[in-house]
Structures are given as structure tokens and as C-alpha cells.
Amino acid sequence: MYIVSDDEFINLIDQAFDTLPRAHRKAIKNVAIVYAEDPTEAQRERLQLAGYQTLYGLYEGIPLTRRQGITNYPPDKITIFKGPMQRDALDFNDLRLKIHHTLWHEVAHYFGLNHTEIHKLEQ
């Protein structure tokens, strides 16, 4: 377990965002990137997560690939969950890497990639 303040956690999210390729950062529009301590019960139920399953991040919105040129959707949201990451992190660097990987993963969902495609890119 590795604990950081809310300000430090936000800073790590900002740093992770800054490491994304510039073209991708510029292409992200109308997306709130927020953090929460833990996923809500409603979020866990919607994802059909078992009690033992951990959730580090969540993309909620309409992926770009499904918008068919429509631009008046409400804002998308990427939530990074601080509690599970801190509980699983071994040290500062591990927490930083978890945040980076999770943010990248959720941004990939925004661009329309599914879990199979994301895992292929990760290898």
C-alpha cells in the first residue's frame, strides 16, 4: 500500500496525461478526467464486477468510433480510482505506473478500442 494526498494524486494524473502522444492529447475533446476514491456500487453493478474484482479506471461516454459525426453528445468522463490503486501500489513508482497505464487504457476506450484491441497494443 502506498498513500498520497489528493493533490499528489491529481498531479500524477496530470503527469500521465502529459505523457500521452501530443496528437492524441489534442484529439481528446469534451472529456472530464476526474478521480474518485472508489467505484460506486452502481458502477460496479453496471460492469457486473464480482466483489473480489478491482477497478482502477472507468470510461463513461460514447466512443469516437460510434458517434457517426454527431458532435452534440454530453461530456464523456474518465474516472481514475484512487483507493484501489493505493491499496495495490507497492511504492511511488508503482502507483505512478498504475495511473499512467489506467489513463492510457481509458483514453483508448474513448478512441473506440475494446479490451481485446487494447491488450494487443499492450503486448
**Domains delineated in the chain:** 6-118 (3.30.2010.20)
Tell me the percentage of the chain whose pLDDT exceeds 90: 75
Cβ neighbourhood burial of 113 (10 Å; 0-12, 13-18, 19+):
middle
pLDDT digits (tens, 9 = 90+) for 11-65: 999 999 999 999 999 999 899 999 999 999 999 999 999 989 999 999 999 998 8
Cβ neighbourhood burial of 45 (10 Å; 0-12, 13-18, 19+):
exposed
pLDDT bucket at 110, cuts 50 / 70 / 90: very high
Print burial letters for 64-75: b (CB count within 10 Å at least 16), e (below 16). Answer: eeeeeeeeeeee
Q: Half-sphere exposure (CA, 13 Å, Cβ side) for 95? A: 22
pLDDT of residue 94: 98
DSSP one-letter code for 112: T
pLDDT of residue 114: 86
pLDDT of residue 119: 84
pTM of the model: 0.89
